[in-house]
Structure 1
Amino acid sequence: MDIPGSTGNTGGKRLAAAVVMRKGLVLLVRRSETERFLPRVWGVPCGKLEPGESPEDGVLRELKEETGLLGEVVRKVGESSFTSVYRGQEIKNCQDNFLVRPLSRHITLPEPDQEHRWLRPDELHTVDIDDYNVDIVRQALTNFLHLTAPDPAEPHELRSSSARASSSLR
C-alpha cells in the first residue's frame, strides 16, 4: 500500500524542502513539541508532496502552510534521503531541496509553541538543528553563492564574505 506523497514503487515518501534566504539570512522554524517526528527540532520548512503534485508546487505549498509565506522557487539545489518508520515499517524518504525567495514578509506559524529565526549561516549552531538540515542549508548556500558570485575579473566584497560563509558550515 502506498502512502500519500509516496514514490509509488517503494512505499517511501516524496518530500520537498525550502531554504528561504533573505539578505544573507536563512529562515529556520522550530517544530512543535506535539510533532511525532523530531519534536522541537529546528529546520527548514519541509513536507511531503501530495499525490500528483510537482516538487516545485509542493515546496511552495509547504512553505505557505508552515510559515504563511509566499515564495518563488529560485532553483533546485539538491536531493536528500533518509529512513523513518511509518506504521511500524521502515521506509525511505526522498527529498528535493530548493532555494526559495520569499515574496511576503509576515510569518505565521501554525502552532503556538513554534518559533522562527532568521540566522546567518555561521549562526546555525546556536539552535538545535540536526546535521541533515545543516546539509540542506549547505546545498542551498553553495548554489546561492554560485548565483551571486561576482565576475572573477572584478574584485568584489562578496568573494571574501562568500568564502567565510561557506567555510562556517563545514
Structure 2
Amino acid sequence: MTERIVVGAALLEGRRLLAARRSAPEELAGRWELPGGKVEPGEAPEAALVRELREELGVDAEVVERVPGQWPLKSPYVLQVWVACLLPGSGEPKPLQDHDELRWLAPGELWDVDWLEPDVPAVREVAGRLGAAGA
C-alpha cells in the first residue's frame, strides 16, 4: 500500500510554538498535536499545510522549511512536519475544527502539554531551534 502523507505545522511566532488540543476522535481527544491534516491526491505537502491551517485555524501561513524526518501514524499514513509562520494580517489562530483549545508555548513550556507520540520527535527538533531543552 502506498504511504499517504499527513502534514503537521510547527507554527512559530517569535520563539513560541502553537499546540492544538484534539477534540476528536475519542482516542485522541484531550491530547496535543501540531495542527495539520492529510495531503489530498495530487496536492503538494506545502500546499496542503497552507490549506489545512486555513480550514482548521482560520489563518494564512507561509511554509518556511521541512523538519527532517517522518514519523509513522496509523497505516498507511506518515507524518511530515514543516516549520511555518503566520502571514502579516492573518489574525490570531482559532480552533475551528478538530480542536477545542490552542496554546502558544514558549521554549520552557513545550513539554507542559501531553503531545501525541508521533509529534514528539518533531517537537523535539523544533525545540532545538527555539533553544529549548528536549524532553
Match of 1:95 in 2: 79
Q: CA deviation at 1:135?
A: 1.5
Computing the radius of gyration from Cα coordinates, the structure with the larger value is 1
- Identity across matched positions, percent: 32
SS at match of 2:111: helix
Structure 1 residue runs without a partner (length 5+): 1-9, 85-90, 146-161
Name the count of aligned residue pairs. 133
Match of 2:112 in 1: 126
Query: What is the identity, as a one-letter code, of the residue corresponding to 2:54?
Result: K
Of structures 1 and 2, the one with the larger relative CO (CA 8 A, separation 6+) is 2
Match of 1:73 in 2: 63
Q: How does 1:4-19 map to 2 (within 5 A)?
A: 10-19=1-10
Structure 2 residue runs without a partner (length 5+): none
Q: CA deviation at 1:112?
A: 9.2
Q: Identify the structure with the greater helix proportion.
A: 1
Q: CA deviation at 1:111?
A: 4.4
Q: Report the TM-score, using the length of structure 1 for normalisation.
A: 0.69
Q: CA deviation at 1:118?
A: 0.2
- Judged with a 3 Å threshold, the aligned counterparts in structure 2 of structure 1 residues 141 and 74 are, in CA distance, closer, same or farther, namely farther
Q: CA deviation at 1:98?
A: 0.5
How far apart are the structure 2 equivalents of 1:26 and 1:112? 18
- Judged with a 3 Å threshold, the aligned counterparts in structure 2 of structure 1 residues 130 and 105 are, in CA distance, closer, same or farther, namely same
Q: CA deviation at 1:169?
A: 1.3
